[in-house]
Structure 1
Amino acid sequence: MPRSKVIAYSLGDVANNLTFMMTSMFLTVYMTEIVGLSAGVAGLVYGLTKIWAGVADLIAGQTVDRVNTRFGHLRPWLLMGSTPLVIVFVLLFSVPAGLNPTMTLVWIVLLDAAFQLAYSFTNIPYGSLSAAMTQDPVDRSKLSGARSIASAITGVALTIFIAPQFKDTAADGIRLRFTLIMIALAVVALVLYFICFVNARENVPRGTGKISFKSTFAMLRKNRPLLILCSGAFFLLGAIFTANAIGMYVAIYILGNASWMSWLMAAQTVGTIAIASLVPTITVRFGKRYGYVLSGIILALGYVLVFLMPENNLVIAIVAWLLIGIGTGGTNSLMFSMQADTVDYGEYVSGIRAEGGSYSILSFIRKCGQGLGGWLGLFVMGLFGYVSGAHEQTEEAIRGIHVAAGVVPAVLAVIAIVIMLAYPLSGEAHENVIAQLNERRTQDSVASTAGVDRARVISEQKGDGRTTLLRKPGGVNPPIVTIFGQRGSGATSISPMVAQMLGVPYIEQKFSSAELAQVDESQLISDSGFDRWLRAVSYSGSQETDLAVATELSANHKAAQTNTREVLEKVSNGGVILGRNGALVLGRAVGTMHIRLIAPEDKRAERVEYQTGLDRSAALAQCRMEDRIRAEMAHKLYRFDPNQDEYYDLTINTASVTYKQVAETIVALYRSKYPDNIAAAPQEPASIDALADPENEPNREEKARGTEPGTAAPPVDVDVTDADPTSPEADR
């Protein structure tokens, strides 16, 4: 996906957050300091409308797919939804000065409720659009990463521009000034929505299935990890949004300068993005549960520092918000990752896979938590005697702001931590769930094709771990071998040799070497550090991505289902299959054997250099990039690492033996393990090396080195690339 498309898509979230962050961070202080509502009433409005926002999300999620135009199902909402969104947004911050308190309250409540509904009808189709733009899970991660970065930057920019407006809330024309500012933001948002609309394309057909809450709740009753995660999320989001709602009061009355809010927001953004980049490392080192708990502790410490910090001390405030950003980014990223795990667990214990339903429930709970945080923070301020619109507050009221912005969210964060300590789904437990789910899915696919119950395709003989029958017991079982190889390991030369020697078809990876040879070299090595960083920070910097994550997860699962069906169909008469996640799809199939081919990095780079004409550094970069992206796609689609040796019966280093010797070793092992699984007498080719692509002349390299073919250095890998790194169905 071109970077221009990624940037254009991210502009849609800039447009979203010009309105969403304006209401999340500045609506409460607008209600108290400019409109004159009491802190308690303003908090109640904030809380109720956030809960309504959760309901609005459910309504929008069930409605958007009913629209089908020549522009698609989702893109039209960027135009149809954004226009009413910006209209009610402007009106929400344009409360007339002459209204009595009751009418003022009615004005804000009705318009805020209308805003939340319009926002749901814009944000949900926007979030779902990434999965409709591309099937490539790696590109979808880039889109979500760009969205997170855009969201974070927008928050900082908005505070730089908006926070100074609260320096003198009694100034003449202050209400008109806010109206004009909102009009300007609305115009910018409409332009950005239009740019996103023009550049986004719905290239992937969408399913028409709807969320079944009946089945979702049936799954939820058995899904203890999801129940615990939702409970923790309620209090965690309460903590985070307390700070959102109270932050401006801290800047105005404790720091003494409304403009300093921009420094606090910048520090929080730096912390959020920095920790999101490290979440994969944290997950490996501590596990998701303890990584979440550690991030929650940092979040709570940030709030404690807010409570303790002296007045007019910007440095300590920046440190506090940096800690808050680290805690927010870590918990948010890990929460979405853990939520994906609970979807798998729900399918495992109930047989019901409900990405949309699970994330809808989590989204609603999170919105309720947001409402709790905003309401509770302002309620506490009111208890301590905060006076709306006063130029100066009493010491007791200042203490109330300290408590509301520090103690209240810290307590909520600690409650979330305690709840998450009971989260039962460890990394090892989840790996076991994934292994059994993938076996069950393969069995279901086989049973569906054969028109029998799944019990009929389960083998009772489990000595070698093979428990899935692909054919009737006692029948002919032609050999099936899966091969996965590192870039430059010779997999595309060795695999057809093995197929020929076993007398079965060779099933190549999705994109052949000949096709990939036509691809421009710069595209094959274009995976930059920035692209990898975008994928690392996916969904970390935005709070409004619940259903977008569900859409991406569902799209990845559907791509995996399609690949599983294709793999089973292609090996129906036996075969040697290269890539396509065959070692996982057929991992426990009776009569299969799984091979992984490796070689030292310098040897693989040497082969790629010779075959493609790239220099050594570019060839090395290509090897690393393709291996990494294949692993990323395998994780996105199947949640497994194809480079773990335990998935394979045999791992071979192809650097020190010839391709022919590797092929013969694989065939000898297969015949030894399954002596009866030979469909027909294998036909030995006149020359094994002739099975390699003749146009690449692999023996020429050996001759150039003064060696005889098949005696020293192995033939050159004939493949330009083992997989198209932008294809979700290619070799992983």
Structure 2
Amino acid sequence: MSTTTQAAPPATGRMPNHRVLTYTFGDVANNLSFMMTSMFLMVYMTDIAGLTAGVAGAIYGITKIWAGFADLIAGQTVDRFDTRWGRLRPWILFGSTPLAIVFVLLFSTPAGLGPTATIAWIFLFDAAFQLAYSFVNIPYGSLSAAMTQDPVDRSKLSGARSIASSLTGVILSAVVAPQFQDTQADGIRMKFTLTCIALGVLAVILYLICFANSREVVPRGQGQISLKNTLKMVKQNKPLLVLCSGAFFLLTSIFIMNAVGLYFARDVLGNAKWFTFLMLAQTLGTILAASFVPTITARFGKRNGYIAFGILIAVAFTLIFFLPSASLVPALIAWFLYGAGSGGTNAMMFSMQADTVDYGEWKTGIRSEGGSYSILSFVRKVGQGVGGWAGGAIIGAFGYASGAAAQSEEALRGIRVAAGVAPAVFALLAVLVMVLYPLTLQQHEKIITDLNERRTQSAIGKAKGVDVERTVNPANVGDGRSTLLRKADANHPPIVTLFGLRGSGATDIAPILAKELGVEYIGQRFSSTELSQVDKKDLISDSTFDRWMRAVSSGGLQDGDLATASEQSANHNIAAENTNYVLNAVENGGVLLGRNGALVLGDVVGAYHVRLVAPIDKRVERVMQQTGLSEAEAREQCITEDRIRAEMSDRLYNWNPNHDSDYDLVINTASVTYEQVAEFIAYCFRSKYPESKPNAASREAAPGDE
């Protein structure tokens, strides 16, 4: 059997765990202030600053809606400046201290202020806080896509951030919630100021650690979001409009609870300290649900999964309304179900949003990750504001007495309504809206197929300097091929794409086949032969924990919209670069290994697509012979490499390379030699394309061939 070798093995390029950890420090810092305002500002305004519940709810609502505008302002500003630290990191370095100062001032209302001055103090500092937060959080969220081009690593960053976000809420509640048990205690205002100073200092330290350990290694795109094009795309994007409508009702539901959850724990259940246990139960539910989202999506579809999780939220809120007083265990169960519902819907929402971006491009020709995610982010912030306002308005209407040692039965009923009935109604409205979501799994797959064909044709057209229409074969030959790399009457040199499972022999067969057909062998970015030379501890690195973190990616985030947009845009750019490389590489024919070639060249006239398989035991045996690994290590390597390659194809192209229907030929290599496999593929190719011949002059090797 023939083999291919390299002088030196490639570096794996995987992000070290300490960098993933220190990146999450930034999200911990974010949530020390974000969750403080989301969970505790309402109670602070009523029970410490002395505002009525209705006024407090109005402030909460208006400033959250203002936060949506602040996000848009920050999103249009942060990427315009380039420094020696990059475009994003400086905002974390220089913005963290002003954010901490404004945060402390927000929770430091002077005792001698009158009602009007108190309202002005809290309102202005809350508005300033939301703006400062946007100018730190948006560059932080976009930083993951600038730190690495590896989609798996970016998923780990997002997953770690999601976990950190959830756990921060639990820890923060343990520190802050008990302070609200007796809001009439001596020195309570100073105690809050000191607490916020400590949180602010800790946040700045964590931001600085994040800044110091992160690196912007991926070049940033220069394009700005076009409002005109975005609005044009949105008007014709029904899935996005439905998703935004559902998000509004869902976030309204969740933030009613955020605003009044502590009131429920303290006044209905009877113990403010229990709020920490409720948050822990909610967090466990969130992470558990997000862990199963990929499985639920594959089995039931995104829309049905979203609807199921939305119904679960409504059930949880209904249980909360009927909870007996001073009953912790039933409350823990209800909050766990609420966390599962909110975690699942959040994860589904961000996944569905990516699909609406594809739909917008397919429908209008305009691809706008940033624009569509900005719209969703704004709608979510409006929902947050309406939710906070509704929570305050409801408990105020039922006679909540600000700062009172005990509440009336009517006020307690109002808290139950605000924590149970109202959010359940809004959750059900979100479910009803999402029933109208029109994009099914099958429709999205067809859209992806059409888009990839268009992108390939567009790339060919640009490379050849011709209109896209001239890249389409006017006379379909009946095999589904419609895209021309050259004029219809010109010679189409042999093009064969190969994709093989680890141990199927693809890296050995491809060069033999290329020689047989008289064309160049074009290797994948990291072939199996090359990977076999990498140190074992680097090669076998896809742990169960890594996969779990990728599964919970975005599940626990309530403000991950623009960060997700940045990741989606980066993935799209990487895919576009790969498409251009593939088209250039096969200009004069070639045997292309990997690089998603069967998808990129799927409709190209003269291309033949082959997938190589073999039973796992045979593949393990081959890997053991090639690498010297033990049987267990070789098996893990086969499973890991196959999973990672499929996962990266899914993230870059929304494509599963293991679907046999995407190939002309699928060969089991277990019982034949590599030379026989190559000869058989060459025979099949020539039978299909008898007129295809290699060009006289072979092209020079493209940079990066391996």
> TM-score range with shorter-chain normalisation?
over 0.9
| Residues 1:680 and 1:348: Cα distance change in structure 2 (over 3 Å) | closer
Are 1:438 and 2:452 counterparts? yes
Shift in Å, 1:67? 2.2
Q: SS of the residue aligned with 2:611? A: strand
Deviations 1:229-261 (A, max 9, x none): 000000000001111111000011100000000
Q: SS of the residue aligned with 1:98? A: coil
Contact kept in structure 1, 2:63 and 2:385, CA below 8 Å: yes
Q: SS of the residue aligned with 2:282? A: helix
Are 1:416 and 2:430 counterparts? yes
1:291 aligned to which of 305, 324, 331: 305
Contact kept in structure 2, 1:503 and 1:682, CA below 8 Å: no
Are 1:621 and 2:632 counterparts? no
Q: SS of the residue aligned with 1:428? A: helix
Are 1:567 and 2:582 counterparts? yes
2:255 corresponds to which letter in structure 1?
F
Q: SS of the residue aligned with 2:498? A: strand
Shift in Å, 1:397? 0.7
Q: State the distance in 2 between where 1:7 and 1:512 align.
A: 29
2:517 aligned to which of 475, 491, 502: 502
Q: SS of the residue aligned with 1:425? A: coil
Are 1:136 and 2:150 counterparts? yes
For residue 651 of structure 2, what is the aligned residue in structure 1? 636
Deviations 1:378-431 (A, max 9, x none): 101111111111111111111000001101000000000000000000000000
1:588 aligned to which of 603, 611, 625: 603
1:309 aligned to which of 315, 318, 323: 323
Q: State the distance in 2 between where 1:75 and 1:63 align.
A: 14
2:620 aligned to which of 601, 605, 608: 605
Shift in Å, 1:497? 1.1
2:690 aligned to which of 668, 675, 678: 675
Q: State the distance in 2 between where 1:326 and 1:730 align.
A: 46
Deviations 1:75-113 (A, max 9, x none): 111111111100000000000000000000000000000
**How many residues of Structure 1 are paired with residues of Structure 2 in the alignment?**
686
1:101 aligned to which of 102, 111, 115: 115
Contact kept in structure 2, 1:503 and 1:681, CA below 8 Å: no
For residue 712 of structure 1, what is the aligned residue in structure 2? none
Are 1:663 and 2:664 counterparts? no
Q: SS of the residue aligned with 2:149? A: coil
1:645 aligned to which of 660, 665, 668: 660
For structure 2, list consecutive stretches of 5 or more residues without a partner in the other structure.
1-14, 699-703
For residue 468 of structure 1, what is the aligned residue in structure 2? 483
Shift in Å, 1:8? 0.5
Q: SS of the residue aligned with 2:342? A: helix
For residue 268 of structure 2, what is the aligned residue in structure 1? 254
Q: State the distance in 2 between where 1:510 and 1:408 align.
A: 53
Contact kept in structure 1, 2:269 and 2:326, CA below 8 Å: yes
1:602 corresponds to which letter in structure 2?
D
| Correspondences of 1:112-261 after superposition (within 5 Å) | 112-261=126-275
Deviations 1:538-566 (A, max 9, x none): 01111011000000000000000000000
Are 1:522 and 2:537 counterparts? yes
| Residues 1:730 and 1:372: Cα distance change in structure 2 (over 3 Å) | farther
Shift in Å, 1:518? 4.4
Deviations 1:504-557 (A, max 9, x none): 111111235675454211100011111111100001111011000000000000
Q: State the distance in 1 between where 2:527 and 2:560 align.
A: 37
Are 1:328 and 2:352 counterparts? no
For residue 550 of structure 1, what is the aligned residue in structure 2? 565
Contact kept in structure 2, 1:486 and 1:597, CA below 8 Å: yes
For residue 711 of structure 1, what is the aligned residue in structure 2? none
2:681 corresponds to which letter in structure 1?
I
Shift in Å, 1:317? 0.9
Q: SS of the residue aligned with 1:35? A: coil
1:571 corresponds to which letter in structure 2?
V
Q: SS of the residue aligned with 1:109? A: helix
1:299 corresponds to which letter in structure 2?
I
2:660 corresponds to which letter in structure 1?
D
Contact kept in structure 1, 2:88 and 2:143, CA below 8 Å: yes
Q: State the distance in 1 between where 2:212 and 2:155 align.
A: 21
Q: State the distance in 2 between where 1:178 and 1:665 align.
A: 76
Shift in Å, 1:181? 0.3
Q: State the distance in 2 between where 1:86 and 1:542 align.
A: 21
Contact kept in structure 2, 1:501 and 1:682, CA below 8 Å: no
| Correspondences of 1:307-456 after superposition (within 5 Å) | 307-456=321-470
| Residues 1:657 and 1:163: Cα distance change in structure 2 (over 3 Å) | same
| Residues 1:605 and 1:211: Cα distance change in structure 2 (over 3 Å) | same
Contact kept in structure 2, 1:500 and 1:682, CA below 8 Å: no
Q: State the distance in 2 between where 1:248 and 1:679 align.
A: 73
Shift in Å, 1:682? 13
Deviations 1:435-488 (A, max 9, x none): 000000000000001111111111133311111111101101101000000111
Shift in Å, 1:680? 6.0
For residue 12 of structure 2, what is the aligned residue in structure 1? none
Deviations 1:131-186 (A, max 9, x none): 10000000000000000011111000000110000011000100000000000001
Q: SS of the residue aligned with 1:58? A: helix
For residue 265 of structure 1, what is the aligned residue in structure 2? 279
Contact kept in structure 2, 1:579 and 1:730, CA below 8 Å: no
Contact kept in structure 1, 2:522 and 2:705, CA below 8 Å: no
Q: SS of the residue aligned with 1:340? A: helix
| Residues 1:682 and 1:667: Cα distance change in structure 2 (over 3 Å) | farther
Instruction: Calculate the aligned-residue CA RMSD, in Å.
Output: 1.4
Contact kept in structure 1, 2:319 and 2:334, CA below 8 Å: yes
1:510 corresponds to which letter in structure 2?
R
User: Aligned residues: percent identity?
Assistant: 64
Q: State the distance in 2 between where 1:224 and 1:74 align.
A: 33
Q: State the distance in 2 between where 1:180 and 1:413 align.
A: 37
1:486 aligned to which of 489, 494, 501: 501
1:238 corresponds to which letter in structure 2?
T
1:345 corresponds to which letter in structure 2?
Y
Q: SS of the residue aligned with 1:216? A: helix
| Residues 1:610 and 1:353: Cα distance change in structure 2 (over 3 Å) | same
Q: SS of the residue aligned with 1:284? A: helix
Q: State the distance in 2 between where 1:584 and 1:76 align.
A: 39
For structure 1, list consecutive stretches of 5 or more residues without a partner in the other structure.
684-728
Contact kept in structure 1, 2:523 and 2:705, CA below 8 Å: no
Contact kept in structure 1, 2:285 and 2:336, CA below 8 Å: yes
Q: State the distance in 2 between where 1:680 and 1:248 align.
A: 74
Q: State the distance in 1 between where 2:345 and 2:21 align.
A: 26
1:19 corresponds to which letter in structure 2?
S
Q: State the distance in 2 between where 1:355 and 1:730 align.
A: 31
Contact kept in structure 2, 1:159 and 1:261, CA below 8 Å: yes
Q: State the distance in 1 between where 2:424 and 2:121 align.
A: 33
Contact kept in structure 1, 2:533 and 2:627, CA below 8 Å: no
